[in-house]
Structure 1
């Protein structure tokens, strides 16, 4: 496993060398952004498939509503009927999660690379690189301790937080529209009857977009760059893929 991490570190370092004439001291940060975009491009076919699946599920809403009404007093039978309808129409309720799940290994790989002092028995050379004045292996609390929120390193995080907040606000608004156009089903509830706790879940779900701010604050800057690049890509990608869907369907699935 250590050889794998060392090989990937060499790949990042080589890519940084290629980008050095353009980005100079921030070439490694640029390599991380480029690597993230390559990962997102690789999983884009799955994102397109997920979009097709969600659009197909949207067309099934009248049939699903009828099943929920018909089996309102029998949750187990209702779930079986819904699963049978999904199977018949070849629609997977979990397809929208696959693009995010498949990116987790890349995120944890980046996290490990910039949290480990040695790779393959040798000092980790990636730890000596930075984005402007902020070390790629540093965290926000390090920036606060070294110059404060508006110090040289702190300003890098200010810019990242501003970008994440803008993307999260965009996703929040799209999720609210999507949930208004396609409310979450209420398993086990009768028509017009709410399930305890469901209201809190519905209110909290759009706010999940802002959890990225917490991630950026606590992980190494290199991993934060991966998250920021990936979430920005997701926002643009979903806006494009779901451009013809009323309410902006697809925004309700959190993305990395």
Structure 2
């Protein structure tokens, strides 16, 4: 069952679609044939701006988790063989620090529906029973419904599509590399006899490029959304990292 076909969600998606297409129409005198692409970028920026409070909450939670990590490791070493005592001591630590192990989770859950609806606009060819005309609009002559992997698989890849879609994927990959370099966090000290294996540094680096891989398979409209989102997220995290620094982490 398609969740976005459920009447209340379909109506919400259709409302968002109408707003996006209305914005594209208003931008046409300035942006011409690329008005829909400009609308995608502007709407994504607007949504990310509205979600700044959630980002601040996540940054605070990250700082708290980082600060408590040594104390939690000490509790694990001391009470690791007594799960019930370990749980009690852990919860007491969080109470003493006036926080919760779920700090930062609520903002993530709160923003998920907003992000989900927006992202669905760029993926669905049919919205509330009518065609998604957004995907027929173009960026530099390339339809926003074009998937790089799709045209390669069909054997219809041409130069404009390769350049436009490739540029979007490359931009996302570059932001991923910058994120890896600028927001790198050292792994905590690990005991020699710890049963938990260290996370390979190479794996952490690869994860930063997962969004670029996704962009290869989704429509160009979704790729634009992802490019703007990862760029905004990087800048926002750099700003918040300075406001809520992690002691010992590289900046």
* TM-score band w.r.t. shorter chain: 0.7 to 0.9
- How far the C-alpha of 1:55 sits from its partner, in A, is 2.0
TM-score for the superposition, normalised by structure 2: 0.80
TM-score for the superposition, normalised by structure 1: 0.79
Q: Figure out how many residues of one structure are paired with residues of the other and give that number.
A: 239
Counterpart of 1:112 in 2: which secondary structure?
Answer: helix
- How far the C-alpha of 1:132 sits from its partner, in A, is 1.5
**Which sections of structure 1, spanning at least 5 residues, go unmatched?**
252-256
- Match in the other structure for 1:217: 216
Q: Is 1:129 matched with 2:128? A: no
C-alpha offsets along residues 97-154 of structure 1, whole Å, 9 cap, x if unaligned? 5555444434443443344444344443223202222211121124433334xx1011
- How far the C-alpha of 1:75 sits from its partner, in A, is 4.4
- Match in the other structure for 2:19: 11
For residues 1-256 of structure 1, what are the structure 2 equivalents within 5 Å? 1=7, 2-144=10-152, 145-148=155-158, 151-176=159-184, 178-180=185-187, 183=188, 191-195=191-195, 198-200=197-199, 204-243=203-242, 244-246=245-247, 248=249
Counterpart-to-counterpart distance in 2, 1:98 and 1:170 = 28
Counterpart-to-counterpart distance in 2, 1:139 and 1:98 = 33
Rate the CA distance shift 1:246–1:134 in 2: closer, same or farther, 3 A. Answer: farther
C-alpha offsets along residues 69-89 of structure 1, whole Å, 9 cap, x if unaligned? 322333453344223312331
Which consecutive aligned stretches of 4+ in structure 1 deviate over 6 angstroms post-superposition?
A: none
CA-based RMSD of the aligned residues comes to 2.8
Does the 8 Å CA contact 1:111/1:219 hold for their aligned counterparts? Answer: no
**Which sections of structure 2, spanning at least 5 residues, go unmatched?**
1-6
Counterpart-to-counterpart distance in 2, 1:160 and 1:44 = 24
Rate the CA distance shift 1:136–1:160 in 2: closer, same or farther, 3 A. Answer: same
Does the 8 Å CA contact 2:54/2:111 hold for their aligned counterparts? Answer: no
Counterpart-to-counterpart distance in 2, 1:6 and 1:61 = 45
